[in-house]
Amino acid sequence: MSLHHGVIIIGGGQAGLSISYCLSRRGIDHLVLEQHQIAHSWRNKRWDSFCLVTPNWQCQLPGFPYPGDDPEGFMGRDAIVEYIEQYASHFNPPIKTGVTVERVQRGESTAFEVNTTQGTFTADQVVVATGGYHTPKIPRLAERLAPDVVQLHSAEYRNPAALPPGAVLVVGTGQSGCQIAEDLHLAGRQVHLCVGGAPRSPRRYRGKDVVEWLDQMGYYDLAIDNHPQKDTVRHKTNHYVTGRDGGHEIDLRHFALQGMALHGRLKEIQGTQLHFGDDLKANLDAADAVAESIKRTIDAYIEKNGIDAPLDPPYRPVWEPESVETGIDYREANITSVIWCIGYGLDFRWIELPVFDGQGYPGHRRGVTAVSGLYFLGLPWLYTWGSARFSGIARDAEYLAEQVAMRTGGSHPRVPQTVNEVAIGS
């Protein structure tokens, strides 16, 4: 295998495979380097009952839309892995697995040197397609728990039976935290859930899945430059909802009625005492407010366009915290396991090129960096909401493939400078 390629793609997940497909169609020489195997994260960093929160019809990898017979359903973990493997078989990408990239730097005789565990590759251009979920976040606070308390990050959780007997503390209420808490709850485990500030979304509203409404409204085509929150949206927690059992809304208040213990944010651990913030009610109310805001946006769209859609009854909270509980003894509560569901950090330290900001996030415009020939793909909100998802990766991959092709042909593409230019370029 040649050690020099026109393009090296780092990462063999859906992002790396997507850009590989787009480059293959253009006849551009490239190589995909993957540390593990195709679909590794889906296969090894998701729990057994994991499923997509967006309907299957949104799975639109370039040249390979969802091939199944349940477009309104929600693929589970194993089906997702199969979908990605089928995609790779569909066009047979030039991929080398089991290769860890240790450093990317400027080359002496070529644009880039890519140092790996299997030698040094060189390339005229590099696409970093490793996504945005690199380092599991576990706070130093975790060190204060007794050694016999089992601690996992959400990426390590598999199923309730894999945990020791006893109650489980779940910290964080993003998508992973809420879905894992439900998984444990349905298995009959006593769950203590630390509720943070994550928003929630309705599942269905006025006769359709909310995703279908938002798609119809053009929300998933909204470029980040047009988003009201601009770049800050990249760092927002995703709305919690689930595709489990055909898809349903997650309202933590229902869990509380069924015996799940809800707490505010975990603030401190002193001895065997867990100390919580007094923000449980505020966080529940804020999550509800976001869900209701989404409904109002849909209502306005329906009214503006004269759409005949059934009415849903108004939302009424089914449970309210009776008092502010700011602490419990985890021994007395028989908590034997803790699952940290507070996300991931970026780790691009192996890229020795001047493109990063103070938080380690790469500076780019729609994936194109200031370093000529270096691109990023698959990051949340790289360009739209779907950039890190099956729904939007094709648009980003096609755009970057065109940038690569223009540079390969000897002309350097001009990076769009305005929102309108970006929109036209899509």
Give the model's pLDDT for residue 250: 97
Tokens matching residue 376:
């990023």
Can you tell me the distance from the alpha carbon of 329 to that of 271, in angstroms, rounded to the nearest whole number?
9
Tokens matching residue 67:
């091939």
Give the model's pLDDT for residue 414: 37
Enumerate residues 6+ apart whose C-beta is below 8 A from 143: none
Q: Do domains 4-134+346-425 and 141-340 have the same CATH topology?
A: yes
SS3 254: helix
Nearest Cα to Cα of residue 280 among 323, 240, 250 = 323
SS3 382: coil
Alpha helices, DSSP H, located in 92-209:
175-186
pLDDT tens for 223-276 read: 999 998 888 888 888 999 999 999 999 999 999 999 999 999 999 999 999 999
SS3 8: strand
**In degrees, to the nearest 5, what angle opens at C-alpha 345 toward C-alphas 344 and 350?**
130
Domain spans of the chain? 4-134+346-425, 141-340
Decide: pTM greater than 0.85.
yes
Q: Which residues pair with 374 in a beta bridge?
A: 126
Nearest Cα to Cα of residue 223 among 424, 17, 7, 19 = 424
Give the model's pLDDT for residue 424: 26
Alpha carbon 55 to chain centroid distance? 15
Nearest Cα to Cα of residue 172 among 316, 330, 344, 346 = 344
Question: CB of 277 within 8 A of CB of 207?
Answer: no
List average pLDDT for each run of 10 residues in the chain, which is 426 residues long: 89 97 97 96 97 97 96 98 97 97 90 96 97 94 98 98 98 97 98 97 98 96 91 88 97 98 97 96 97 98 98 96 87 98 95 95 96 96 94 97 88 35 27
Selected from 3.40.50.1100, 3.90.180.10, 3.50.50.60, 2.60.450.10, the CATH number assigned to the domain covering 141-340 reads 3.50.50.60
Give the model's pLDDT for residue 419: 29
Tokens matching residue 235:
């760092």
Q: What is the DSSP string of 349-360?
A: TTB-SS-B-TTS
Furthest-apart CA pair in the chain: how many Å? 69
Give the model's pLDDT for residue 418: 32
Give the model's pLDDT for residue 141: 96
Can you tell me the distance from the alpha carbon of 117 to that of 49, in angstroms, rounded to the nearest whole number?
34
Other CB atoms closer than 10 Å to residue 158's CB: what's the count? 15
Architecture of domain 4-134+346-425: 3-Layer(bba) Sandwich (3.50)
> Helices (H) and strands (E) in the chain — how many of each?
9, 21
Q: β-strand 208-209 against 204-205: which pairing, if any? A: antiparallel
Q: Which residue has the tokens 């109650």?
A: 167
Give the model's pLDDT for residue 426: 24
Give the model's pLDDT for residue 322: 87
pLDDT tens for 73-107 read: 999 999 999 999 999 999 999 999 999 999 999 98
Tokens matching residue 393:
């990766």
Can you tell me the distance from the alpha carbon of 337 to that of 235, in angstroms, rounded to the nearest whole number?
28
